[in-house]
Structure 1
Amino acid sequence: MIYEIAEIQIKPDVHADFEAAVREAVPLFRASPGCLSMRLERIIERQDTYHLVIGWETLEHHTVQFRSSETFTAWRALVGPFFAAPPRVEHTQNALNGF
């Protein structure tokens, strides 16, 4: 499994609306080929910053299939208005399970 970690900085004072928009997008991710999981985490030290963490079967499920789909366009239409800056996206894979 590959994890997409998108660091998203939003405009001040739109947290509830942003979180509602992400909640509305859950079915979009659930229906996307290769999407295995999705969660949104708010950074404690930087209140206007979130990590969207999405599990994909393969890197291509995200970078090729999802990014070129109408679903991606719908996702960005829901959440894009809340962005203070373009998201920073990285991909990770598990290197070690400690416990």
Structure 2
Amino acid sequence: MVLESAELLIKAGMEEEFEAALREATPLFRRARGCEGMQVQRGIENPLAYRLLVKWQTLEDHTVHFRGSEDFQAWRRLVGHCFDGAPEVTHLRTVHEGF
């Protein structure tokens, strides 16, 4: 399993629109090849900072199959205008779980 972690900075005043677009975009992830779940968290210290976390079966499920899909284009149309700069995306693999 690979965890995609994307920091999304949102333009001031667009938080509610962004969160509504997230709800609309959920089915795009639900049907994506290899997607095992997603969640979005909002910063407490900086409420314009959001963290998108997506569980993928493989790195390629995200970087090749999803990013190359029409659903990815739809995702960007829904939320891209809310971004304040390009998202910072990293991929992580679990090396330890405490509980």
TM, length-normalised to structure 2: 0.98
Counterpart of 1:95? 95
What does 1:2-81 align with in structure 2 at a 5 Å threshold?
A: 2-81=2-81
- Deviation beyond 2 Å, 4+ runs, structure 1: none
Aligned length: 99
CA RMSD of aligned residues (A): 0.6
Q: Note the alpha carbon deviations across 1:49-76, whole angstroms, 9 max, x for none.
A: 0000000000000001001111100000
Q: Encode CA deviations 1:25-61: one digit per residue, 9 max, x unaligned.
A: 0000001010000000001111100000000000000
Superposed CA deviations along residues 6-30 of structure 1, whole A, max 9, x for unmatched, are 1000000111110000110000000
For structure 1, list consecutive stretches of 5 or more residues without a partner in the other structure. none
Tell me the TM-score normalized by structure 1.
0.98
Which residue identity lines up with residue 67 of structure 1 in the other structure?
R
The SS at the match of 2:95 is: coil
Identity of aligned residues (%): 49
How far apart are the structure 1 equivalents of 2:91 and 2:46?
21
